[in-house]
Amino acid sequence: MTISEKEQSILNEFSLFEDWMDKYSYLIELGKELPLIDEKYKTNQYLISGCQSRVWLHAELKEGKVILTADSDAVITKGIVSLLIKVWSGQSPDDILHASTGFLEEIGLKEHLSPTRANGMLSMIKQIRLYARAFQIKLNK
Amino acid sequence: MAFNIDQIRSDFPILNQKVNGKPLIYFDNAATTQKPLPVIQRLTDYYLKENSNVHRGVHHLSQVATEIYENARNYVAEYIHAEESDEIVFTRGTTESINLLSRALVPWIEANDEILISAMEHHSNLVPWQQLCAERKAKLKIIPLNEDGSLDMNFLEKMLNPQVKLLAITHISNVLGTINPVEEIIRIAHEKGVPVLLDGAQGIAHSPVDVKASGVDFYTFSGHKIYAPMGIGVLYGRKTWLRRLPPYQFGGEMIDQVSFDRTTFNQLPYKYEAGTPNVSGALGLEAALRYVSEIGIDKIINYEEKLLTRATEKLEEIEGMRIIGRAKNKAAVLSFVVNGIHPYDLGTLLDQMGVAVRTGHHCAQPLIDMLGIPGTVRASFALYNTPEEVDVFAEAVKKAVAMLM
């Protein structure tokens, strides 16, 4: 699936929820379900410090695609991280660099991407783009 | 004046709004308080009728502005029972007050001297002293806490040796709510000849302050924690101290005579107020203190205590609840964590239910690290909060915990 197809499928899922409680319960479920990252990457080297909740991120290039894994100590943050990974992991560096986070806004999670939120989300997105850029350069060599 | 909660709430129009479709419950008062109409009106009046620069002009408006600014200083002095209004230095807030003092004390601190603080300090009463100690090769010593979050008074007494040049300690903890026994602390320190600074950022709004009776050497606070505007604060310093300490910023207003070769400095408190001061802020602070005084700080404390007790009892019904800070003397701050739940998640869900709390380390990282938790959720109360809000809050916490478990 392309990024936009994946975004659409998440938008469809979220359109079923009637109130904030359903939405957050689903995010929490996503957060709890996903064993996102290999324990050996849960070190300071892969830590994105977001002040309040911590996010660990690992990226590697496999057959021209970026494989992302991540984790967070806060479950709601983890839920949102897993949405981003669903959409972006397995895509090419080019596609990731061209993608936006607009779908998170559409499902009403915009406030989590605010720089004042101190949850590490914004730094994580920046870091993913840095990885994608590095992989892109590597592929074009 | 009787404590009329409906009247009080009508003085704070900001409270009358919805957040995420729910009536706002503002429990982030330890971070900043809302402002009552008399304070807002005071700022408006100043800019509508009285604005001018102070202390310089011969013209009418400048004289008016100077007079009301100095009256505000007089009222602050009266409110905290300072002997003279010269002992009131206006600053931007507690942080600047402490920084000012830490800079003014530089020549007074020598190698191997000690500065004592406690383990419950806000970064603003920790980092300036840590930096000063590093600069002067002095030692920063930390007074430990008891299990319940109160200060270990036995240690305090033992740590007050002749090397100690200053004891800088909070009046009320912004994380634990602990009210320190400041009168006893000051008495013990003074017996050993050690001056005391109290960080009154929380103390000013939840305790009577009497610098004369307590004998404290320095008291610092921010206006915005006691219903006044942001950007105005106070450093109270005993005159004998402020007179002999050097200035901290240089420029206009703080000088006596200036030539290209040398400068002599103005008298107190202007020596410490370089540049154009925050006149409207000072007036807003006066209005806020008068507002509190009219209701009566004792009545406010009594009312907030009831809110704290009610909230504590309700939260304790929740499984896995851990109240952080259980000192016997506690002010309107309630920090907690729930086993297995990250404070950030709890805060996010509470916000969805219209409840404003703070989550995180509350600018007291060493304390949070010591407790071995990622942070706390902190509900903090003010005179306009109600028992009904406490009930809604407790239900919201229950709901959030159920969702996250």
**Mean pLDDT, to the nearest integer, of B4-28?**
96
B294, B312, B344: which is the final residue of a domain? B294
The partner residue sitting opposite A77, judged by closest CB among B344, B352, B404, is: B344
Copy the structure tokens of residue B232: 């105005």
Sorted by where each begins, the domain ranges of chain A are 3-139
User: HEC states along chain A?
Assistant: CCHHHHHHHHHHHHHCCCCHHHHHHHHHHHHHHCCCCCHHHCCHHHEECCCCCCEEEEEEEECCEEEEEEEECCHHHHHHHHHHHHHHCCECHHHHHHCCCHHHHHCCCHHHHCHHHCCCHHHHHHHHHHHHHHHHHHHCC
Contacts of B344 in chain A (CB under 8 A): 52-53, 74, 76-77, 119
pLDDT at A51: 60
Q: How confident is the model at residue A122 (pLDDT cuts 50, 70, 90)?
A: confident
How many beta-carbon contacts under 8 Å exist across A and B?
39
pLDDT at A103: 87
Name the residue among A51, A97, A91, A96 with its Cα closest to residue A72. A51
Residue with tokens 């929380």: B202
Whether residue B15 lies inside any domain: the answer is yes
Name the residue among A64, A74, A75, A68 with its Cα closest to residue A38. A68
Tens-digit pLDDT profile for residues B310-320: 999 999 999 99
**Mean pLDDT, to the nearest integer, of B110-134?**
97
Is residue B122 domain-shared with residue B180, that is, in the same domain? yes
Is residue B161 domain-shared with residue B245, that is, in the same domain? yes
Is residue B305 domain-shared with residue B276, that is, in the same domain? no
B14 has a pLDDT exceeding 70: yes
The helix or strand, by DSSP H or E, that contains position B256, with its residue range, turns out to be strand B255-258
**CATH code where residue B66 lies:** 3.40.640.10
CB pair distance less than 8 Å for A74 and B20? no
Whether residue B398 lies inside any domain: the answer is yes
Is residue B289 domain-shared with residue B305, that is, in the same domain? no
Q: How confident is the model at residue A140 (pLDDT cuts 50, 70, 90)?
A: confident
Mean pLDDT over each residue of chain B, to the nearest integer: 96
User: Which parts of B127-232 fold into alpha helices (H)?
Assistant: 127-136, 153-159, 182-191, 203-206, 211-214
Q: For the whole prediction, is pTM greater than 0.90?
A: yes
CA distance, residue B122 to nearest chain A CA (Å) = 16
Mean pLDDT over each residue of chain A, to the nearest integer: 87
Is residue B205 domain-shared with residue B71, that is, in the same domain? yes
Does the model's ipTM exceed the 0.90 cut? no
Helix pair angle (B37-45, B279-295), 10° resolution: 150
Express as a percent the part of chain B with pLDDT over 90: 89
Q: How confident is the model at residue B1 (pLDDT cuts 50, 70, 90)?
A: low
CB pair distance less than 8 Å for A52 and B352? no
Q: How confident is the model at residue A32 (pLDDT cuts 50, 70, 90)?
A: confident
Copy the structure tokens of residue B322: 């851990």
Name the residue among B331, B151, B168, B156 with its Cα closest to residue B237. B168
pLDDT at A119: 65
Amino acid (one-letter) located at B342: H
pLDDT at B386: 98
Q: How confident is the model at residue A117 (pLDDT cuts 50, 70, 90)?
A: low
Is residue B254 domain-shared with residue B330, that is, in the same domain? no
Q: In chain A, whose CA is at the least distance from the CA of B341?
A: A74
Is residue B164 domain-shared with residue B279, that is, in the same domain? yes
| Chain B interface includes A118 (CB < 8 A) | yes
Class of the CATH domain delimited by A3-139: alpha beta
Is residue B209 domain-shared with residue B285, that is, in the same domain? yes
Contacts of B375 in chain A (CB under 8 A): 52
Q: How confident is the model at residue B326 (pLDDT cuts 50, 70, 90)?
A: very high
Is residue B314 domain-shared with residue B346, that is, in the same domain? yes
**CATH code where residue B338 lies:** 3.90.1150.10
pLDDT at A47: 87
Is residue B252 domain-shared with residue B106, that is, in the same domain? yes
Whole-angstrom distance, CA of residue B366 vs CA of residue B279: 36
B263, B294, B325: which is the final residue of a domain? B294
Whole-angstrom distance, CA of residue B188 vs CA of residue B180: 13
Instruction: Give the CB-side neighbour count of residue A38, counting CA atoms within 13 A.
Output: 7
Whether residue B35 lies inside any domain: the answer is no
CA distance, residue A64 to nearest chain B CA (Å) = 36
Higher pLDDT, A81 or A92: A92
Q: How confident is the model at residue A97 (pLDDT cuts 50, 70, 90)?
A: very high
Residues 6+ apart with CB under 8 A from B249: B272, B274, B275
Spatial contact of B5 and B304, defined as CB atoms under 8 Å apart: no
B279 has a pLDDT exceeding 70: yes
Question: Three-class SS of residue B274?
Answer: coil
Q: In chain A, whose CA is at the least distance from the CA of B352?
A: A20
CA distance, residue A26 to nearest chain B CA (Å) = 10
Total domains in the fold of chain B = 2
B276, B294, B312: which is the final residue of a domain? B294
Whole-angstrom distance, CA of residue B167 vs CA of residue B277: 29
Whole-angstrom distance, CA of residue B208 vs CA of residue A115: 38
CA-based max dimension of chain B: 71
Instruction: Give the CB-side neighbour count of residue A121, counting CA atoms within 13 A.
Output: 26
**Mean pLDDT, to the nearest integer, of B376-404?**
97
Range of the domain at B142: 40-294
